[in-house]
Amino acid sequence: MTRPASVSDWRERARARLPRMMFEYIDGGSYAETTLKRNVEAIERIALRQRVLTDVSKLQLSTELFGQTLAMPLLLAPVGMAGLYARRGETQAARAAQKAGLPFCLSTVSICSIEEVRAATPDPIWFQLYMIKDRGYMTALLERAKAAGTKVLVFTVDLPIPGARYRDIRSGLSGVLTPLDKLKRGVNGLMHPHWMWDVFLNGRPQSFGNLVEAMPNAKGTDDFSRWIGKNFDASVNWDDFDWVRERWDGPIVIKGILDAEDAKRAAEIGAEGLVVSNHGGRQLDGVPAAIEALPAISRAVGDRMTVLMDGGVRSGLDVLKALALGAKGVLIGRAWAFALGGGGETGVSAMLTTMRHELEVAMALTGCTDVRAAGDHLLVRDL
């Protein structure tokens, strides 16, 4: 394959290097994947205003979120099981992010523990929290995150139960597997020797580092979906925010908001930020694209809390569009997962360099010299 030049290229590199079940887990969504497609297509439909004869010799890409300076308004979103895309994958991605001057947010369901990732990086990371029924374990997990120096907690609220992800069933990642299914999955792994050597052999242990004590009988991905169904707390509601706040004294960002009324409630209860997100189209299919929900949410609460967005972002051009519609920063998930699966830490670094260049070009050609001043004046409204 030629040298990857875009996120789409990294996607194809990941498809070639990863076993089918791992690629489909990254690439897939829920049900018919309507929202997965809509996330991308809705961003593509947005038109930027090209402006000329503006001095763009000096561009300001850096911004500040929760007291932290970012080299550009971008951060790596929490992505589960990234340690199965490359050897100790979360540590590789975190190093690439911090070399680029960007935050990395570790998933609760990562392969590498928060302690391992923190030991591999010079600066504290962000941590994403899923609520499980065992609140004692949750308390201990938050204490571990604080001990690792974590400054920002991302509380994901749009997964009370797992979405219906058909690709994971077809690939053999989840569901009840027959002996023949397991044999086919093993053969597929053997057909990807680089992955087998890098991840399956050299990447051990392949347990969920933050949840080892909570799921002692789970055997890899076979039991993982069933464990989530039994242990993720579907009873979580707005009152539980107070439970989290009592145990966390730093900024809390609520991830998974798609409705302006929910955004107002998040502001009222004291969350410092939110992420406009539909979980990358992996939960409820048929809902609006994140970029479609962003403007109303930004208008409703943007003066009271930090509004971020994820979903469908595949380039620096997309980042500028999100900023123009009210986001203060953008999270990417699949983009870094594809680059990690396709090229490890080097791949993630290369992808982030590309995104930065794309953002610079988009800013220059729209006459935007400072990301902090991006607004809807950068957009064409009447097409």
Query: How many whole angstroms separate alpha carbon 76 and alpha carbon 295?
Result: 22
Asked if 155 and 254 touch (Cβ cutoff 8 Å), the reply is yes
Q: Residue 342 has which token pair?
A: 């396709």
- Provide φ and ψ at 104, rounded to 5°: -120, 130
What is the chain's length? 383
Query: How many whole angstroms separate alpha carbon 99 and alpha carbon 109?
Result: 24
Neighbours of 331 (CB within 10 A): 29
Q: Which position has the token pair 């990642």?
A: 173
Asked if 46 and 34 touch (Cβ cutoff 8 Å), the reply is no
Q: Which position has the token pair 């789970």?
A: 218
Query: How many whole angstroms separate alpha carbon 132 and alpha carbon 218?
Result: 15
Query: 192, 194, 279, 357: which is the annotated catalytic residue?
Result: 279
Helices (H), the chain: 7-17, 20-27, 34-45, 89-99, 114-119, 135-147, 166-171, 179-190, 193-195, 220-231, 240-246, 260-268, 290-301, 316-324, 334-366
Asked if 59 and 369 touch (Cβ cutoff 8 Å), the reply is yes
Query: How many whole angstroms separate alpha carbon 331 and alpha carbon 372?
Result: 16
From the list 275, 304, 302, the residue with the least C-alpha distance to 290 is: 275
Q: Residue 225 has which token pair?
A: 């979906």
Query: How many whole angstroms separate alpha carbon 101 and alpha carbon 92?
Result: 14
377 is catalytic: no
Query: How many whole angstroms separate alpha carbon 190 and alpha carbon 202?
Result: 15
Query: How many whole angstroms separate alpha carbon 368 and alpha carbon 312?
Result: 22
From the list 221, 175, 227, 256, the residue with the least C-alpha distance to 83 is: 221
Query: How many whole angstroms separate alpha carbon 237 and alpha carbon 10?
Result: 38
User: What are the catalytic residues?
Assistant: 279
